[in-house]
Structure 1
Amino acid sequence: MIPNAVIYLAIMLVFVIAWFVWVKRPVYEALFLSFLLLVGVTNTWGNIFTYIDGALNTSLLYSMIVFVAMSQLLSHTKVIDSCVYLILSLMGRLTGGAGYASIVASSFMGALSGSGPGNVMATGVITIPAMKKSGFPPELAANVESVSSYMGNMIPPSSNIVGALGAFMALYPDSGITSGQFWVVLWGVAIYFIVQRMLMVFAFCKYYKVKPMAKEDIPSLKETFRTGWKGLMLPVIILVPFILDSVCADWIASRLGDAGASSFSKCLLFFIAGVAAIYTLIIADDKKSVTLPKMANLFTSKMKSLVGPIAACLFGYMVGELFSDIDVTTQLGTFLESLNMPLWGLALFIPLLTAFLGMIIPGSSQVVIFGPVFIAAFAAAGLDPLLAAAMLPCICGTMCGITPPLALGMYAGMSIAESDFKKTLINDLWWVGTQYVLEFVLLLGVLPVIGL
């Protein structure tokens, strides 16, 4: 017998698809209305304000907001541009160096912005022309930038990361895992996908006989280092506190207690975003662009682009609160167990499911709504639940963004590279295929991962 949880999910998906595809309205509207529909179907009107309150009191929601705001600040001050040029000056002399530079620069910026298409437009205007000049076919240049930008969704401090940690803690509240420890595992996973993309660029460069960038196109290392070295401190500012939180977890717990250590770990996200933002203002070359009036105008003008992702995440959390109240996670977990699907079957099925769902539901919302279900299913099949949680940003936030037909990053890259749709689509399928194979292998738990 099909459990009620599956019926509720089916109702939600049908409604979201209809609203988004046929009515052609934003996804966040579809999520909000589907939330109201589910409240009506489950007759839980008496708890609706409890669900809203629970979503608004989720610290991870505000973590996403501050990091998205910080990414806007980084783009406005051109700090990231300096970093990209510096990376190009270091890697441009290599065969396919512009592609490797795109992977490094776009992955990092994508982790900050949490927006694959937005990041393609931000960094792609530099990296895609550089790739084309060194012999990359337009379709390859578009896809290298796209898959690199979307890889940022699985690298801390992406908003998908905080959602994945929340899903894990919902199932294992007494695990004692800190944000820093979780970040270490996420980097352990991300390393495999960085290497995968590097190898793909290497193989394509051999196939297309790509050459190093012309000397006149390579930015001066001396000049770019002089103007961009300060920007290279940003990864240090962002990563070091979390590494210390991971390494010193026992010491922090002994000083603050378990509850205090947990609160300290959550506060790190806000603290780091604030420090990174202040540092960005300090190192900005054009001080006139970072005055209070200019900052107010910046966030006012960018508010429209911020509202959609944030609203979708908020409404996703509201649906998550509703599902938690009516015990959807347990029902779905029991249903998946009843199918007796082995670990390899889940590793094949769930990434395909999330790629499909990603055509209508943002990756961050998928993590919030379905994350606990997927973690529980993988754990029941024998996978380390922490690894399952660390894979959520990959299978929910990255796979859906690069898989046709709704591979938004690919379309953004095409617009800059001026590439042919059919050629770009065929090339993109190679990236999707290798991504899927690596996801499958990692979900089998056969590869060593740092932090586990």
Structure 2
Amino acid sequence: MSAIIALLVYMAAIIVWNFVLGRNIGEAMLVGLLVVTAFAGADAWTVLTHAFWEATQEQVMFAGLAFVFMSYILGQTPVLDRMIDILNSLLGRVRGGPVYTSTVAAGAFGSVAHVGASVTAAVGSITIPWMKRAQVRPEIAGSVVAGCAGMGVTFPFSSTMFILTGALATTGTLTVDELVIPLAIGGLWCLGVRLLVNAYMVRKYNLRAMDPADRLPFGRSFSRGWTSLTLFIGMVVPVLLTMGWTSARLSDYVGVDTGEALSLIVWIPVLMIAIVGFLGRRHLPRGGRDWFDLLAGAAPRFGVIGVTIVAAFAAANVLGELGLPAQLTTALEAVDAPRPVMALIVGAVVVAIAIPLTASATMAAIGPVAVAALIGVGVEPAVAATAVLIFASTEGASPPSGAPIYVAAGLAQVDPAKMFRPLVTYFCLPILGIGVLIASGVLPV
């Protein structure tokens, strides 16, 4: 049980360092990493260096920093302001319009892209600045976007779903076809509860419609800023190249599977930075000295975010080396409880594993065991798998290690630690509750 204890101590160290002592989250994550590495004993140095090296190879590391840079460059040009003018002309008269739009957009993009950090980055790059202009607090704007990242898991056909069904199909428990409809309905339940949370936020934080003086007539805003809409090309093109009919045709033509060769989370920020640079070229520096000053101004934004992402992934790697998934699996197999209680226990265990791991890694580590535990108390296989995937979808809303948290924090330019409480309260716990109600038979799928 040493890995389970290590996880608890890791969480405690971060909470004490950040919330009790008041130090920044980057320091807290480094302290947590060192504390959890100590559980490796004599192999601590080897485990730490290997975990750190693996963390620096994560694509999310590049994406997180790339989107921070993109948001900085956007701030130097009028491109995003003009796009937001168009959005405000359409939806600015609705209280909390940017919040609702962000949530629905995350659901739509997540149903196609399925990668939590990609959903956060693509949607948040547009809606976070819009929410901030609508007087939504930065930590709430970031939380709304990161809290919706998991919708990529709760809609078919994510890689996480295939990892789980692949393992279940080998035992004859469940096939992909049997899961599609229940998971789609489960995804809609998750979208619905997020929209209810949005409505609560609008009331609690007294979010108002945009002042009429700040809303341009649609014709005027569109004529001034229609070119800014080409920013969406940076999202659409990578999706078309990696998924669906266009990906299949291109893969046949070039002889390479573009879905495997191209990464959404890498190419979305690259293309968006290029488009911003082209659209805003008249407002960007022209000389070498001016570019140096611009990049120097961006440098401080990378510090805490970069350190935090590396430390989070390194700690996850260390916990994996310590055997956390296997130990939690053993503990889960030993549980004997009524259906609702078992659903809550399974949900809590899956959420706990999804804190340091991604949803896909969580399903690979414990998914089949979690489904079997629910089937053992009378839950139908498709319902059990739907609930377990919903539990795992909290990866983006589970502090302190969810990659979407740090992508959103970079876009919102806010200390990630300020997002932890709203993420847990408004997203992690409600989604856990949805999974429990589905597994208990209260919500039909």
Question: Equivalences for 1:91-130 in 2 at 5 Å?
Answer: 91-93=91-93, 97-104=94-101, 111-112=120-121, 122-128=129-135
Identical amino acids, percent of aligned pairs: 15
8 Å CA contact 2:79, 2:225 repeated in 1: yes
Residue of structure 2 equivalent to 1:29: 27
The verdict on how the C-alpha distance between 1:241 and 1:157 changes in structure 2, with shifts beyond 3 A counting, is: farther
Correspondence for 1:383 among 371, 379, 385: 385
Residue of structure 2 equivalent to 1:150: 143
Letter in 1 for 2:133: I
Correspondence for 1:38 among 36, 39, 46: 36
* Deviation by residue 1:294-346 (Cα, 9 ceiling, x = unmatched): 55434422332322122111011111222222222111222233234678557
Residue 225 of structure 1 and its aligned partner are, at CA, apart by 0.8
What is the alpha-carbon root mean square deviation over aligned residues?
A: 5.4
Inter-partner Cα distance in structure 2 for 1:158 and 1:70: 24
Residue of structure 1 equivalent to 2:172: none
Question: Equivalences for 1:263-274 in 2 at 5 Å?
Answer: 263-266=260-263, 268-274=264-270
The verdict on how the C-alpha distance between 1:154 and 1:14 changes in structure 2, with shifts beyond 3 A counting, is: closer
8 Å CA contact 1:374, 1:388 repeated in 2: no
Question: Equivalences for 1:213-224 in 2 at 5 Å?
Answer: 216-224=213-221
Inter-partner Cα distance in structure 1 for 2:334 and 2:349: 18
Question: Equivalences for 1:430-441 in 2 at 5 Å?
Answer: 437-438=433-434
SS of the residue corresponding to residue 237 of structure 1 reads: helix
Residue 55 of structure 1 and its aligned partner are, at CA, apart by 1.6
Inter-partner Cα distance in structure 2 for 1:87 and 1:99: 13
Inter-partner Cα distance in structure 2 for 1:256 and 1:349: 48
SS of the residue corresponding to residue 216 of structure 2 reads: coil
Residue of structure 1 equivalent to 2:309: 313
The verdict on how the C-alpha distance between 1:47 and 1:91 changes in structure 2, with shifts beyond 3 A counting, is: closer
Letter in 2 for 1:104: T
Question: Equivalences for 1:270-419 in 2 at 5 Å?
Answer: 270-284=266-280, 286-288=282-284, 293-340=289-336, 345=341, 348=344, 367=358, 371=362, 378-380=370-372, 381=374, 382-384=384-386, 389-395=392-398, 408=418
Inter-partner Cα distance in structure 2 for 1:196 and 1:159: 15
8 Å CA contact 2:74, 2:80 repeated in 1: yes
Inter-partner Cα distance in structure 2 for 1:246 and 1:339: 41
Gaps of 5+ in 1: 129-140, 176-184, 358-362, 412-424
Residue of structure 2 equivalent to 1:67: 67
* Deviation by residue 1:98-117 (Cα, 9 ceiling, x = unmatched): 4213432698799338989x
Inter-partner Cα distance in structure 1 for 2:296 and 2:433: 42
| Residue 53 of structure 2 is aligned to residue 53 of structure 1 | yes
Residue of structure 1 equivalent to 2:10: 12
Letter in 1 for 2:121: L
Bigger shift: 365-374 or 30-39? 365-374
8 Å CA contact 1:113, 1:119 repeated in 2: no
Inter-partner Cα distance in structure 1 for 2:343 and 2:289: 51
* Deviation by residue 1:209-250 (Cα, 9 ceiling, x = unmatched): 999767555312122112222222323431342255221465
Correspondence for 2:232 among 223, 235, 252: 235
Inter-partner Cα distance in structure 1 for 2:339 and 2:248: 33
Q: Aligned residue pairs: how many?
A: 389
Residue of structure 2 equivalent to 1:422: none
- Give the TM-score normalised by structure 1: 0.64
Inter-partner Cα distance in structure 1 for 2:8 and 2:105: 36
8 Å CA contact 1:167, 1:389 repeated in 2: no
- Give the TM-score normalised by structure 2: 0.65
Residue 375 of structure 1 and its aligned partner are, at CA, apart by 5.1
The verdict on how the C-alpha distance between 1:294 and 1:219 changes in structure 2, with shifts beyond 3 A counting, is: farther
The verdict on how the C-alpha distance between 1:217 and 1:75 changes in structure 2, with shifts beyond 3 A counting, is: closer
SS of the residue corresponding to residue 134 of structure 2 reads: helix
The verdict on how the C-alpha distance between 1:337 and 1:294 changes in structure 2, with shifts beyond 3 A counting, is: farther
8 Å CA contact 1:86, 1:228 repeated in 2: yes
Inter-partner Cα distance in structure 1 for 2:84 and 2:239: 24
Residue 11 of structure 1 and its aligned partner are, at CA, apart by 2.3
Residue of structure 2 equivalent to 1:419: none
8 Å CA contact 1:367, 1:392 repeated in 2: yes
Residue of structure 2 equivalent to 1:137: none
The verdict on how the C-alpha distance between 1:201 and 1:333 changes in structure 2, with shifts beyond 3 A counting, is: closer
8 Å CA contact 1:106, 1:148 repeated in 2: no
SS of the residue corresponding to residue 308 of structure 1 reads: helix
Residue 391 of structure 1 and its aligned partner are, at CA, apart by 4.2
Gaps of 5+ in 2: 107-118, 169-181, 375-383, 409-415
8 Å CA contact 1:316, 1:368 repeated in 2: no
